[in-house]
């Protein structure tokens, strides 16, 4: 099975390298091809998502993605910036459903900024829509009537887009504790009003699921006050961006959390939720566990290799139990040594 | 000096009543007129912001606002919902600058979901723009080319709107620790790109202020991980809505935090950041301190009565030191008893 490896910028290559070692240990069914993406691709080939990279991503059965983002590229025109690569992949491949589990490994209860009793109760999945919203609407710079510069971006969702992601939310809740919370800002936004209307319509197909609605400002509060109340959250692209990063931090280090971005037929792109961290790139300080756990999600969701996924997750837990800690977790291991610790536990 | 009292819905009337008792004790220079707003106004007069209420707000030197929001009104057409009253007041009166201080009273270190050492370091002001962004752009429902329902909202800012709020940010930072963090999503949004460009242009007028920029997803993370790093945050209407509620919860109970919404000449609307809490309305369970502290901000910013503002803030601290606690703070006092505790400390 062909896996596209897109290491990207900053710490991307380091965390991908450890992950490939782990994958090679648990299965010999994978074949890897690597291609540049993000700032690295711009520097090498003049575009953050070169045609050959997109082609590889299309051919592959799944994509393992490092991170993109490079301060050298901040002043480029928008369509050439590293971030466009991940946005382009999501859109071109129809990866509309972003699944971000947030749970605290009990070994890391001390890593959260939240009180241990609050953080310890976190066990949720945030489902973020990835193909619509203000990310992909018409946008640009224009002049106002009085000749002043104005930036604008159109936010929108249509009913099919909402229904599709709502179903992922309901299905996910069904496989868990049966509770779905839809987050919007329906008291202000028409986009949110349609979102809420359609989620309610779709809920008729899932009478066994307990549906609730929450405004995004309240959700941001509740994720701090009592994150244990959530099972599955479903929300749009922009609110999902903010809330999932917030939730990840409530659950401890951002170096621990994986994500999957799926299309309609379970093909997916898998990436750690952390970014490229240019400040520590190339120093062996990055925590590879978020990427290793993303690879486990890949085995489970896109490749049908659940047993292998379980083995990886168990090995990560064992490594943590034995005290393996990179600097973000208050330890001294290098990226490679953390990879070694997981391999040793396999 | 004429003060418009707009108690609104839910717990609004209860918390305003205690606040008026406190104001009457510290000064005899105020004259109060009351008018209905929100769901209460809709039920009485068919509109959430009746003309006489708007007129009173315009005539008054400052406005003391309770809260709006009433589940009975959720299915009304948007322009009749309670929330439209606060949006209408902000827009009609040109209240473009929302100031939300977030600090933890040291007596309440235990009330935060964050670890005491993390929460104890919080001492920031969030400055949220209130007159623009996706709140006030063109919005509505339309059909897509294939006849599907679509909701849309246009996000935008022009350079004058950004420069005006940026200056409030820089001035506020100058009066504090000299650090301003501007929050946007410039890697995705053109509105944010203009925001960032203009904030950088305005920074030339404030060479003494240390300016930084942060993406909103990262800001949501940093507010949990290490909120003590922030002095002043300036951001747009939507991001400010989310982040300021999140920050308030990091700082402990939402029942404690005041806010000011100012126009260009220091006229202002003052309100607690909490909502109408219909679930506890009329039961004497609401914490009036956020509103009492909002009144202190009113005395200081709009009425030039700083000494009286200081007295109120000191009395609140004394009441807390002596152990006064409403249920949200883990105590048993009623709303009125908490008012008594503040009066006793004056
Ligand atoms: C890099 C950026 C465009 C991206 C997003 O906003 O979607 C990132 O923050 C994410 O969450 O994957
Ligand atoms: C009630 C609502 C429209 C309002 C807002 O979103 O601005 C509220 O959440 C606030 O923050 O004051």
Q: What is the mean pLDDT of residues A84-100?
A: 96
Can you list the domains of chain A with their CATH numbers? Answer: 1-103+254-346 (3.40.718.10), 113-250 (3.40.718.10)
**What pLDDT does residue B251 have?**
73
Q: What is the mean pLDDT of residues A31-51?
A: 97
A268 CA to centre of ligand 2 in angstroms: 37
Residue B99: count other Cβ atoms within 10 Å of its Cβ: 21
User: Do residues A170 and A206 make contact, with C-beta atoms less than 8 angstroms apart?
Assistant: yes
In degrees, rounded to 5, the angle at the alpha carbon of residue A219 between the alpha carbons of residues A132 and A168 is: 45
Euclidean distance between the first and final Cα of chain A, in Å? 22
Contacts of B135 in chain A (CB under 8 A): 188
Mean pLDDT of chain A: 95
Digit-coded pLDDT (tens) for B168-212: 999 999 999 999 999 999 999 999 999 999 999 999 999 999 999
The residue among B116 and B41 whose pLDDT is bigger is B41
Nearest to B189 by CA among A238, A149, A244, A91: A238
**What pLDDT does residue B82 have?**
94
Q: Which of A218, A224, A243 sits opposite B250 (nearest CB)?
A: A224
Question: A341 CB near a chain B CB, below 8 Å?
Answer: no
Question: A187 CB near a chain B CB, below 8 Å?
Answer: yes
B180 CA to centre of ligand 1 in angstroms: 24
* Shortest alpha-carbon distance between residue B32 and chain A (Å): 30
Confidence of residue A106 (pLDDT cuts 50, 70, 90): confident
CA distances to A163, A191, A213, B151, B261 from A197, in Å: 10, 10, 11, 11, 32
Contacts of B192 in chain A (CB under 8 A): 151
Sequence-separated (6 or more) residues with CB below 8 Å from residue B199:
B162, B166, B169, B182, B211, B213, B234
**What pLDDT does residue A248 have?**
87
Digit-coded pLDDT (tens) for B81-93: 999 999 999 999 9
Question: What are the structure tokens assigned to B69, written together?
Answer: 């929001």
Instruction: State the alpha helices, DSSP H only, in chain B.
Output: 12-26, 39-45, 51-59, 83-92, 116-119, 159-174, 190-203, 216-225, 237-250, 289-301, 306-321, 335-345
Is the pLDDT confidence value at B35 over 90?
Answer: yes
CA distances to A289, B37, B68, B223 from B94, in Å: 50, 18, 19, 29
**What pLDDT does residue B56 have?**
98
Digit-coded pLDDT (tens) for A151-204: 999 999 999 999 999 999 999 999 999 999 999 999 999 999 999 999 999 999
Contacts of A192 in chain B (CB under 8 A): 151
- Tell me the C-alpha distance between A270 and A8, whole Å: 13
Name which residue sits closest to atom 3 of ligand 2, judged by CA: B83
**What pLDDT does residue B21 have?**
98
Could you tell me how many residues make up chain B?
346
Name which residue sits closest to atom 11 of ligand 1, judged by CA: A241
Mean pLDDT of chain B: 95
Is the pLDDT confidence value at B337 over 80?
Answer: yes
Nearest to A118 by CA among B118, B119, B113: B113
Nearest to A3 by CA among B115, A22, A223: A22
User: Do residues B82 and B74 make contact, with C-beta atoms less than 8 angstroms apart?
Assistant: no
* Residues in the annotated binding site of A: 90, 100, 128, 217, 241, 245, 275-287
Nearest to A326 by CA among A310, A341, A315: A341
Is the pLDDT confidence value at A47 over 90?
Answer: yes
* Shortest alpha-carbon distance between residue B56 and chain A (Å): 25
Is the pLDDT confidence value at A118 over 80?
Answer: yes
- Tell me the C-alpha distance between A246 and B217, whole Å: 7
Digit-coded pLDDT (tens) for B269-323: 999 999 999 999 999 999 999 999 999 999 999 999 999 999 999 999 999 999 9
Pairing of strands B139-143, B149-158: antiparallel
Residue B282 assigned to a binding site: yes
- Tell me the C-alpha distance between B292 and B345, whole Å: 13
B12 CA to centre of ligand 1 in angstroms: 39
The residue among B107 and B139 whose pLDDT is bigger is B139
- Tell me the C-alpha distance between B325 and B1, whole Å: 32
Quick check: is B267 catalytic?
Answer: no
Name the residue with tokens 């241990």: A116
User: Do residues A94 and A130 make contact, with C-beta atoms less than 8 angstroms apart?
Assistant: no
Identify the H or E element spanning B271: strand B268-272
- Tell me the C-alpha distance between B182 and B169, whole Å: 9
User: Do residues A215 and A185 make contact, with C-beta atoms less than 8 angstroms apart?
Assistant: yes
**What pLDDT does residue B74 have?**
81
- Tell me the C-alpha distance between B28 and B34, whole Å: 17
A186 three-class SS:
coil
């Amino acid at each position: 099975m062909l896996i596209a490896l897109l290491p990207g910028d900053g710490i991307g290559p380091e965390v991908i390298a450890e992950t490939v070692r782990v994958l090679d240990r648990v299965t010999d069914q994978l074949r890897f091809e690597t291609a540049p993406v993000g700032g690295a691709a711009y520097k090498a080939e003049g575009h953050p998502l070169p045609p050959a990279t997109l082609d590889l991503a299309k051919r592959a059965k799944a994509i393992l993605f490092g991170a993109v983002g490079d301060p050298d590229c901040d002043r480029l025109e928008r369509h050439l910036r590293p971030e466009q690569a991940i946005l382009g992949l999501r859109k071109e491949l129809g990866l509309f459903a972003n699944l971000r589990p947030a749970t605290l490994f009990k070994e890391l209860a001390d890593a959260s900024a939240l009180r241990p009793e609050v953080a310890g109760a976190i066990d949720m999945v945030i489902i973020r829509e990835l193909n619509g919203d203000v990310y992909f609407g018409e946008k640009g710079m224009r002049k106002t009537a009085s000749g002043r510069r104005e930036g604008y971006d159109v936010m929108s969702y249509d009913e099919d887009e909402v229904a599709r992601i709502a179903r992922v939310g309901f299905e996910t809740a069904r496989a868990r504790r049966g509770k779905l919370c839809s987050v919007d800002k329906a008291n202000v936004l028409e986009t949110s009003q349609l979102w809420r209307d359609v989620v309610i319509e779709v809920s008729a197909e899932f009478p066994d699921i307990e549906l609730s609605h929450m405004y995004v400002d309240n959700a941001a509060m509740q994720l701090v006050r009592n994150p244990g109340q959530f099972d599955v959250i479903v929300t749009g692209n922009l609110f999902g961006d903010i809330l999932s990063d917030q939730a990840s931090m409530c659950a401890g280090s951002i170096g621990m959390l994986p994500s999957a971005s799926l299309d309609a037929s379970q093909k997916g792109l898998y990436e750690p939720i952390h970014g490229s961290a240019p400040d520590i790139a190339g120093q062996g300080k990055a925590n590879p566990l978020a990427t290793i756990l993303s690879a486990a999600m890949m085995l489970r969701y896109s490749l049908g290799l659940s047993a292998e996924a379980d083995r990886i997750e168990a090995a990560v837990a064992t490594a943590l139990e034995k005290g393996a800690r990179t600097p973000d977790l208050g330890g001294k291991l290098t990226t490679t040594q953390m990879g070694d610790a997981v391999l040793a536990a396999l």
